[in-house]
Amino acid sequence: MNTRPVVLAIDDEPQNLFMLKAALEDCNFDLITAGSGKEGIEVLCERECAAILLDVHMPDMDGFETALWVRARGIHTPIIFITAIKQGQSYAMRGYEAGAVDFLFKPLNLNILRAKISVLVELFQRKREVEIKAVRNVESAERRYRDLVEGIPNGIVWTSIADNGVFNFVSSSAQKISGYPARDWSARRYFLIMISHPDDVETVGTAIGSLLAGAGHVDFEHRVIRADGTEMWMHTTIRTGEHRGDLEHRGLSFDITSLKKTEQSLRETIVIRDEFISIASHELKTPLTPLQLQIEGFQRLAKRGELHRMPPETVNRMLGVSAAQVDLLNRRVNQLLEISSIKAGKVTIEAREVDLAALVRKAVDLFEANPTIKREDWKLNLAEEVKGHVDPDRIEQVLVNLIDNAIKYGLGKPIEITLRENAGHAEVTVVDRGIGIPAEDQQRIFKRFERAVSPSNYSGMGLGLFISRQIADLHEGIISVESRPNEGSAFKLSLPLDLENVAGVQR
């Protein structure tokens, strides 16, 4: 504000006012005039003046009376009384009581008049500067406070009147976070309770109740139903404070939805880990028991010196059983190791040109000695030679897993393995006529630890198909199943033959 200060002169004699105007014309303030006390008061009610020059002797309302009315209106502008003659002390006292800061006597000494008014104008300007500065300071403090409050991205800062629960401030983040605009927050009492999830209303209500009962501070987690109907988790802290003599609640409600999700998934991970440990320890122990029995049997015979008397075919058979257990153990340990590599994204493939028909034959040969299925029940339908770029060890691992499952879940019935070339792909199908898989389980069994059988009927860790699918993916291939319960299953592995052109493959 750069307006010039204003000095008000009140006198019923126009020539006096005219004279004052002329005398103060070139000063750094504007002189405005009023012809009566009443008129002067009206001016003062409308604008702030730096000083008042007030003639004492006026008809109707004299200078003292005018001064009293001015003060009665709460206006504290300094007043200089102008009077004709020097009166006694009681006269001056009356003037000071009415609010005078000074007296000037007629005829006026213009230099003294100017000097006195200048001092008052100067004081007025200083005061105005200090006030402007104070307002600016308050504004900048408020702006900073607002910036701080609004700058909390995931939190809603709010205050509510303790007595009635009406929100009287809510940061603008409320709309973004909760979907409810600030006016909704202040429209109803205890809005935080209103928007809380029905199951958490009691938590919020109890917390606010304990604040009202005198607790200085509460802290709780609750769900909020956003304006769009979705659910979110909040952590709310409320403190009681005082504002203009009233108790208020000051709250910070923080969006902790993603934190909660992480917590939930960590909990699930712990459950999966515990499940996994119990499955893994069971599955690793199972092959150990027969192995231990075999070894103890041999030890007993050796102790009695009877080992050499055993017919070679018996020894061979017993060792065969032991070897099968070691093999099983080996495969399970490998699966477990593999799973951590997959989790760490460390599984890679090393593709080279191989004959997939030879690879399938090799996998089948590993099961030749298997007692569950008779030699004539293997039905192989393999193309002569199918050349492709694959990682032979990894693909053998998939085939062994599919054949192993076909035997395990195949009820000892014939198993048919087909290899054919189709549209640039090698397709291996392993078909059994065993227990089959219900439709609702056919996708799930490719996930980690997922099984569709009871562990008491069939041992297993639920990892084979998961690992097989990862390997198929790394080859840009597909592994799928068609099955009907009690009729059997057909697992198909389809691999592009020209893997050389598949990106990201290590060779």
Cα separation of 433 and 412, whole Å?
Answer: 9
Question: Toward ligand ADP, which CB reaches closer, 62 or 482?
Answer: 482
Provide the minimum distance between the beta carbon of 290 and ligand ADP in the complex, in angstroms, as a whole number. Answer: 18
Provide the minimum distance between the beta carbon of 369 and ligand ADP in the complex, in angstroms, as a whole number. Answer: 20
Contacts 24+ apart (CB under 8 A), 81-90: 81/54, 81/55, 81/56, 82/11, 82/53, 82/54, 82/55, 82/56, 82/106, 82/108, 83/55, 83/56, 83/57, 84/56, 84/57
Question: Toward ligand ADP, which CB reaches closer, 386 or 431?
Answer: 431
Cα separation of 174 and 185, whole Å?
Answer: 9
Residues that bind ligand ADP (CB under 6 A): 401, 405-406, 409, 432, 434-437, 445, 451-453, 460-466, 489
- Exposed / middle / buried, residue 305 (Cβ in 10 Å: 0-12, 13-18, 19+): exposed
Tokens of 227: 């304006």
Provide the minimum distance between the beta carbon of 341 and ligand ADP in the complex, in angstroms, as a whole number. Answer: 17
Tokens of 151: 């700058």
Cα 267 to Cα 262, 271, 273, 438, distances in angstroms? 8, 6, 10, 29
Task: Enter the DSSP assignment of 4.
Answer: P
Cα separation of 186 and 166, whole Å?
Answer: 6
Helix (H, G, I), strand (E, B), or coil: what is residue 319? helix
Find out whether 219 and 237 touch, Cβ atoms under 8 Å: yes
Question: Toward ligand ADP, which CB reaches closer, 40 or 434?
Answer: 434
Question: Toward ligand ADP, which CB reaches closer, 78 or 464?
Answer: 464
Tokens of 186: 């202040």
Provide the minimum distance between the beta carbon of 145 and ligand ADP in the complex, in angstroms, as a whole number. Answer: 60
Adjacent-strand bridge partners of 248: 161, 241
Question: Toward ligand ADP, which CB reaches closer, 464 or 496?
Answer: 464
Provide the minimum distance between the beta carbon of 436 and ligand ADP in the complex, in angstroms, as a whole number. Answer: 6
Question: Toward ligand ADP, which CB reaches closer, 359 or 463?
Answer: 463
Provide the minimum distance between the beta carbon of 262 and ligand ADP in the complex, in angstroms, as a whole number. Answer: 28
Provide the minimum distance between the beta carbon of 449 and ligand ADP in the complex, in angstroms, as a whole number. Answer: 8
Q: What are phi and psi of 166, to 5 degrees?
A: -85, 130
Provide the minimum distance between the beta carbon of 471 and ligand ADP in the complex, in angstroms, as a whole number. Answer: 12
Task: Enter the DSSP assignment of 189.
Answer: B
Task: Enter the DSSP assignment of 56.
Answer: S
Provide the minimum distance between the beta carbon of 252 and ligand ADP in the complex, in angstroms, as a whole number. Answer: 48
Provide the minimum distance between the beta carbon of 447 and ligand ADP in the complex, in angstroms, as a whole number. Answer: 9
What residue has token string 């988790």?
A: 233
Helix (H, G, I), strand (E, B), or coil: what is residue 13? coil
Question: Toward ligand ADP, which CB reaches closer, 434 or 496?
Answer: 434
Nearest to 75 by CA among 94, 51, 96: 51
Nearest to 326 by CA among 279, 372, 288, 369: 288
Provide the minimum distance between the beta carbon of 367 and ligand ADP in the complex, in angstroms, as a whole number. Answer: 14
Where helices occur in 98-200 by DSSP H, the ranges are: 110-150, 173-178, 182-187, 191-194
Provide the minimum distance between the beta carbon of 441 and ligand ADP in the complex, in angstroms, as a whole number. Answer: 7
Find out whether 429 and 491 touch, Cβ atoms under 8 Å: yes
Find out whether 193 and 207 touch, Cβ atoms under 8 Å: no
Question: Toward ligand ADP, which CB reaches closer, 99 or 462?
Answer: 462
Find out whether 195 and 188 touch, Cβ atoms under 8 Å: no
Shortest Cβ contact with ligand ADP: which residue? 460
Q: Which residues contact 95 (CB under 8 A, 6 or more apart)?
A: 56, 63, 64, 67, 81, 103
Provide the minimum distance between the beta carbon of 185 and ligand ADP in the complex, in angstroms, as a whole number. Answer: 52
What residue has token string 């005018």?
A: 66
